[in-house]
């Protein structure tokens, strides 16, 4: 019996050795350590911020572009050493599906085009990143989320502040009740825009301060409280009606949250605004600026400095999202987060039209 067992073991060993010798030279696919990103839309944000940031990332790289301007395509090809096969226009965009170099499609277009191109990107089977604001309507946001789920890809919204360390610190204050419970939030974001004929001044393209800068204070109230607003009262104004004929130059909005928590917010294309103050039951903490590309700085009521520095916010955002994809862990800012903001944005505009307080329906 023992000799029979010994014979069988030897036979199995020889078979395994034979298999190893026969197939040992076959290389099994290795998991990627970097994800290839294709930027869709080569305006200022892609050119001056995302492309340089991708050079600083550890877990992703610029792999392709989508542009409707041949001259831009040639310039980017030379500057970033891109292969011809990785350069697309808006007509052949769908061919990205067959390109193994590209893992993520990053939509960097005016808000009115976000829904269309996120849905098209999802259909290629690539993961999708989309700049803020997520879309023009709640209905569009839902369509984008559904498309990504249908094609089994992830959808992340480009709220870079969620990845920024000082912002993450105040979120932690809230979670741990470090300074007690939140009582009130004050947040404002804006800049003086001297342009007179930009897409941000056109309603059809998703212009207006509330869509562009307004989502910063709005989102800040939500991550500062950890709650969803239940009502809003908003007022729209302009000092340059000859420019802001179609969209809002300045928007002020008051938010009501559960438990009696309130938030006062402002956004504008006619004022320089950049501050966040959270008042709590046992003190306060503030960031000013709270949404700049660098130099986020703040202090707490007991003198604690909030001045952590990272080399590049966009690089941190993209690395975090790439790691979530590779490790199959939850995204910091999934599509559902963008939808929640747009639900409030819709209510803000409704309040302006109706000139009254509007209940926000979930």
Q: What's the pLDDT at 341?
A: 98
Residue at 9 is within a domain? no
In 3D space, the residue among 158, 54, 38 whose CA is nearest the CA of residue 95 turns out to be 38
Active site residue 355: no
Q: What's the pLDDT at 26?
A: 53
Mean pLDDT of the chain: 93
Peptide bond into 133 cis (omega under 30): yes
Domain-ending residue, one of 160, 175, 203: 160
**Same-domain status, 200 and 348:** yes
Q: Is the pLDDT of residue 81 over 80?
A: yes
Residue 258, domain CATH = 3.30.360.10
Which residue in 88, 117, 126, 132 is the catalytic one?
Answer: 132
CA distance 357 to 350: 9
- Give the alpha-carbon dihedral of 286, 288, 292, 296, to 10 degrees: -70
Which residue in 159, 216, 223, 349 is the catalytic one?
Answer: 216
**Same-domain status, 106 and 41:** yes
pLDDT digits (tens, 9 = 90+) for 281-290: 999 999 999 9
- How far is C-alpha 126 from the geometric centre of its chain's CA atoms? 16
Residue at 326 is within a domain? no
pLDDT band at 31 (very low <50, low <70, confident <90, very high): confident
In 3D space, the residue among 180, 214, 160, 159 whose CA is nearest the CA of residue 285 turns out to be 180
CA distance 69 to 86: 15
Active site residue 6: no
**Same-domain status, 129 and 234:** no
CA distance 53 to 133: 20
CA distance 256 to 141: 23
Q: What is the mean pLDDT of residues 30-39?
A: 89
- How far is C-alpha 192 from the geometric centre of its chain's CA atoms? 24
Contact call for residues 162 and 132 (beta carbons, < 8 A)? no
Residue 355 DSSP label: T
**Same-domain status, 229 and 350:** yes
Domain range for residue 202?
161-310+334-359
**Same-domain status, 138 and 169:** no
Residue at 327 is within a domain? no
pLDDT digits (tens, 9 = 90+) for 140-161: 999 999 999 999 999 999 999 9
Residue at 329 is within a domain? no
**Same-domain status, 178 and 291:** yes
- How far is C-alpha 26 from the geometric centre of its chain's CA atoms? 40
Phi (first) and psi of residue 156, to 5 degrees:
-120, 140
Q: Which residue has the tokens 């944000």?
A: 45
CA distance 167 to 82: 35
In 10 A of CB 57, how many CB atoms?
21
**Same-domain status, 218 and 345:** yes
Lowest mean pLDDT among 22-26, 197-201, 232-236, 254-258: 22-26
Q: Are strands 231-237 and 358-359 parallel, antiparallel or unpaired?
A: antiparallel
Domain-ending residue, one of 160, 183, 217: 160
CA distance 249 to 269: 5
Q: What's the pLDDT at 344?
A: 98
**Same-domain status, 222 and 298:** yes
Residue 98, domain CATH = 3.40.50.720
Residue at 148 is within a domain? yes
Residue at 20 is within a domain? no
Lowest mean pLDDT among 13-22, 123-132, 297-306: 13-22
Domain-ending residue, one of 160, 183, 204: 160
What percent of the chain clears pLDDT 90, i.e. is strictly above it? Answer: 90
Q: Is the pLDDT of residue 17 over 60?
A: no
**Same-domain status, 78 and 171:** no
**Same-domain status, 121 and 178:** no
Tokens read off for 137: 């309507």
Number of domains in the chain: 2
**What pTM, to 2 d.p., does this model score?**
0.91
**Same-domain status, 183 and 294:** yes
Q: Is the pLDDT of residue 87 over 90?
A: yes
pLDDT band at 28 (very low <50, low <70, confident <90, very high): low
- Indicate if the alpha-carbon torsion angle 134, 136, 142, 147 is positive or negative: negative
CA distance 13 to 313: 54
pLDDT digits (tens, 9 = 90+) for 222-258: 999 999 999 999 999 999 999 999 999 999 999 999 9
Q: Angle formed by the axes of helices 138-150 and 114-123, to 10°?
A: 10
């Amino acid at each position: 019996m023992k000799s029979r067992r010994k014979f069988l073991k030897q036979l199995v060993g020889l078979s395994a050795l034979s298999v190893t010798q026969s197939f040992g030279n076959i290389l099994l696919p290795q998991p990627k350590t970097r994800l290839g990103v294709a930027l869709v839309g080569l305006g200022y944000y892609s050119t001056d911020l995302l492309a340089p940031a991708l050079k600083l990332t550890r877990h992703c790289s610029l792999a392709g572009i989508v542009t409707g301007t041949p001259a831009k395509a040639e310039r980017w090809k030379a500057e970033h050493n891109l292969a011809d096969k990785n350069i697309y226009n808006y007509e052949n965009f769908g061919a990205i599906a067959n390109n193994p170099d590209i893992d993520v499609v990053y939509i960097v277009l005016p808000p009115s085009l976000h829904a269309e191109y996120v849905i098209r990107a999802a259909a290629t089977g690539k993961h999708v990143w989309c700049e803020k604001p997520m879309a023009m309507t709640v209905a569009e946001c839902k369509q984008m989320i559904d498309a990504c789920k249908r094609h089994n890809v992830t959808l992340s919204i480009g709220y870079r502040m969620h990845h920024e360390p000082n912002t993450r610190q105040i979120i932690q204050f809230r979670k741990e009740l470090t300074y007690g419970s939140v009582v009130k939030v004050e947040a404002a974001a804006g800049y003086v825009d001297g342009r007179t004929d930009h897409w941000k001044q056109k309603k059809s393209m998703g212009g207006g301060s509330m869509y562009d800068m307004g989502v910063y204070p709005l989102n800040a109230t939500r991550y500062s409280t950890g709650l969803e607003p239940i009502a809003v009262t908003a007022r729209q104004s302009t000092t340059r009606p000859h420019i802001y004929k179609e969209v809002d130059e300045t928007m002020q909005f008051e938010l009501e949250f559960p438990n009696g928590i309130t938030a006062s917010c402002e956004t504008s294309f006619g004022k320089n605004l950049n501050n966040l103050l959270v008042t709590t039951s046992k003190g306060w903490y503030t960031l000013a600026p709270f949404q700049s590309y660098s130099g986020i700085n703040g202090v707490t009521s007991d003198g604690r400095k909030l001045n952590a520095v990272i080399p590049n916010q966009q690089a941190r955002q993209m690395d975090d999202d790439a790691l979530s994809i590779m490790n199959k862990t939850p995204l910091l800012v999934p599509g559902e987060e963008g939808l929640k903001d747009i639900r409030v944005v819709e209510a803000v505009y409704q309040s302006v039209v109706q000139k009254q307080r509007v209940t926000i329906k979930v």
